[in-house]
Amino acid sequence: MNQENEMPKAFDPQAIEAGWYARWEDAGLFIADPTSPKPKFSMCFPPPNITGELHLGHALQTAIYDVIARYRRMTGREVLFLPGYDHAAIATQNVIEKQLAREGMTKEELGREGFDARVNAWYESVGAAILDQLRLLGASMDWTRLRFTMDARYVRSVMTAFVAFYERGWIYRAPRIVNWCPHDRSAISDLEVEWEEHHDVLYFIRYPIEGGGEVVIATVRPETMLADTGVAVNPTDERYSSIFGKTAILPLLGRKLPIVADSVVEKGFGTGALKVTPGHDPMDYDIGQRHSLELINGMHLDGRMNVPGLPYDGLPALEARTKVVADLKAQGFLIKEEPYTHEVGHCDRCHTVIEPLISEQWWLRMEVMRDKALAASAVGKVRWHPERYERTYLDWLRGLRDWNIGRQLWLGHRVPVYDCENGHRIVAVERPHDCAECGSTKLEQHPDVLDTWFSSALWPFATLGWPDETEDLKAFYPTAVNSTAREIINLWVSRMIMTGLEFMGEVPFADVAIHCVVQASDGRRMSKSLGTGVDPRELLTKYGTDAVRAWAASVGMSSQDVRFDESRVEGYRRFANKLWNATRLVLSSPGTPPAGEPGTLEIHEHLEDRWVLSRLSYACTAVTAGIENFTFQDSISAAYAFAWNEFCDWYLEAVKERLREGDAVAQDVAYLCLDYVFRLLHPFMPYVTEELWSRLPGERGFAMRAAWPEGEDRFVDPAAEETFGLVMSIVDEIRGHRQAAGAPPRGGELWLEPGPGREAAELAARLAWVELLSDDSNPGTPMAAAPGWVRFPFGSGDQRRHSEIKRLREDMEKTEAKLANPDFMAKAPPEIVKKMEERAAALRVALDRLA
RNA sequence: GGGCGGCUAGCUCAGUGGGAGAGCGCUCGCCUCACACGCGAGAGGUCAUUGGUUCAAACCCAAUGCCGCCCACCA
């Protein structure tokens, strides 16, 4: 078995990735079996919006999920990793409308049917592109269970949930003030509003009072005064106590406005008097409710003013504002203008300024679900990683209000509400044939669709077949883990938890891992429109999937957001190449490889063998702990450090000759290390590990299917670690001397006092490229690491020796000062005191050797 | 307005009480028969500021300053 001729000198990810993905898939390794006797482990991948291509954040998220999926398979679970995508109602409708606009068309011209056809065509093309990208990332998803939120069976789940809520009496229809997007002509929820700083003007306007006097109010939106129905002041505001209950006269219109007292009015803001516009401001709406003020709707659904008979009628809000201000000024009502900075709400999908207005909407009562969710958290049913995000979730949950689930869009799940010609209402999962009350067959479905998050909220069980008691649902619910960016904790995670508890009686996942957000390298948000986006496919092509995944895992669960740094991805590409070449070296060792599983030969003869296996056991522990704790960066760094800095840099250098000579034990140990490293790294870097695994001797099947390393405590060998540690110190010191002395890279002589043992001395000499002498009749530069000296063909080690003495002396002084401090000796724990004493002793010995 | 996070080497980031770390970049020496996507040796940090707790602080506490995020009905 000698395969090095088949292995190119450099690892080429492109050459192997597609092949392995196809082989895994063909072998059915991604497919979950609900009847398996193994413990089940399931995850439903957060369905990407079907609005376009995946970005780097998706790549990161996919990597995190797939690391977990592959790890759990290797630790003996029956894993379901379910893929899917989301129709993303508003977002997709915007994409399609933009397309139509480019073609000079509107959806109204196209009509509902034509529009649906366009949407379906879009689903087909983009859906496929998204799935391809998930494959490119190596995601081990069960494609036989692919779900789309617009699939018939998923739609049925959504309808079932709606009906169930309706039957519980939680869904009702009511006029309320809502966040209205004039562009999308739809209401959106509070969570879909993005706040942005605006620099506006605060206008101070005089409102005369009936019977004399006036009250001055401050507003940034003078155009809304056309719908004013009151004036409010704080009840404790003595400045205004004389005008409570009086009536103000609305300038320009002459409408009579009751002056009411309400404690939400801030005395310190503006003049302390507030114009009340219940139809166009959420706070004013509440005031209006409390004081029975009239409610006027002053705006059309497209954002133009709705004030029949007035000169402002039909104007867009900003134009109306200009005109209102001009008129106020002309008539002497405008007192002053001040620059004013405040937050203005925008639609998070189309970025249009939100207009609060009154609209009749479908609402979902949340109290019962909220309380169940709070109770579940109270008993620790959901674990958050990092923990602090639980508070984000709980704080929002505690202040939860009814959810506006209706949207006035064309795209989405139509609410399953049907009204017959005689005014009877039917709410049913399937479209009824006739009215249950009057038998009329003239039924009209309500035009509203559901908030896209309504359907997303059902994801962990609707994907498994709910409401049917499917085999999958029984086997794989609840799922194990959900991982998302924190921006959708409330939009999505919280609602899944609530619906999961409500319909399934159990939280949908035990662990929530909130991953970081990737920013552009300058700290700005990564986005296509800013030109700061990074196309994951370019990265995959340039560095390979493994490098991108390893990078993703190394940053994904770090506590803060991360600025994208391509050099770190490149670092992992080099790492993959290092693994490749280390394998090439080991495979080039002549002779028959050890039979059977690696590690079966007697491995205790050589110091380096015992050492590297001891280090390996440490790496196994650290990698496993990192995955279990959702701190993948710890896993990556432990595997990286072992594979490169210990196995390649020290072990392979130590056994090169033995490998060249076909030493079976060295081969056995090297194969064992590679075998372990590939398994430990497989979840992170599936391709290179699978490829190299397949090149190791013996029949070994897929790395993907291999068992996760455990029980390697048997390799722990503190004595070997200590002795090899000494060897490394000696070698480091000789190298340092050689460099400082300007001596040639190789050659020189080493003499060591007996002590570390003949094997260690020879190993050190070999690694440092010096000859080990057996007599010290002609001493050279003394060393600190061990009693002995080194000498090179030319060049003196004295310079480094002197700087080393200086360094050691400084260290010694600090350490001794500590030991001389009575407080330290009295209060520090004994083991720390002991450590310091040992350090001082070691420094003394080293100094004695050098001086 | 409330809450949370960040501030550590030139850059991007690890590091949660006992001698400051990684990747990349930089300097110097090496194409040493696995790897120049490499090997070896280095330079480079008052761990944001101030105060406190402690025998001991990058790490714990308080305040401050920037940067970012989440939540919020002060018009």
Q: Judge whether residue A799 contacts strand B, using its CB and a 7 Å cut-off.
A: no
Mean pLDDT for chain A?
92
Ranges under pLDDT 50 in chain A:
1-5
pLDDT at A222: 95
Phi first, then psi: what are they for A116, rounded to 5°? -60, -40
Q: Which residue intervals of A186-304 are DSSP H helices?
A: 282-291
For residue A174 the two structure tokens come to: 């009511």
Alpha-carbon dihedral angle through residues A664, A670, A676, A682, given to the nearest 10 degrees? -120
Amino acid at site A712: E
Which residue in A148, A168, A156, A305 sits closest to A224, CA to CA?
A305
Give A752's contacts (C-beta < 8 A, 6+ positions apart).
A730, A761, A764, A772, A786, A787, A788
A731 CA from B30 C1′ (Å): 17
pLDDT at A595: 67
pTM for the full model?
0.93
Residue numbers in A 371-400, CB below 7 Å of strand B: 388, 391-392, 395-396, 399
What burial letters (b/e) apply to A791-810, b meaning 16+ CB within 10 Å? bbeebbbeebbeebeeebee
pLDDT at A528: 67
Q: Judge whether residue A648 contacts strand B, using its CB and a 7 Å cut-off.
A: yes
pLDDT at A851: 77
Collapsing DSSP to helix, strand or coil, A357 comes out as: strand
A574 CA from B25 C1′ (Å): 16
> How far apart, in Å, are the Cα atoms of A425 and each of A230, A359, A450, A780?
37, 20, 18, 101
Nearest nucleotide to A12 (CA to C1') is B37
pLDDT at A343: 87
Give A263's contacts (C-beta < 8 A, 6+ positions apart).
A234, A235, A236
Q: Judge whether residue A558 contacts strand B, using its CB and a 7 Å cut-off.
A: yes
A 10 A CB-CB count for A843 gives 21
Which residue in A114, A74, A75, A73 sits closest to A97, CA to CA?
A114
A 10 A CB-CB count for A412 gives 25
Cα torsion A764, A608, A723, A828: sign:
positive
A 10 A CB-CB count for A181 gives 29
> How far apart, in Å, are the Cα atoms of A326 and each of A305, A308, A333, A433, A571?
17, 19, 10, 58, 63
Give A11-62 as a DSSP string: --HHHHHHHHHHHHHHTTTT---TT-SSPEEEEEPPPPBTTS---HHHHHHH
Q: Judge whether residue A282 contacts strand B, using its CB and a 7 Å cut-off.
A: yes
ipTM of the complex: 0.95
Q: How far apart are the first and last CA of chain A?
A: 54
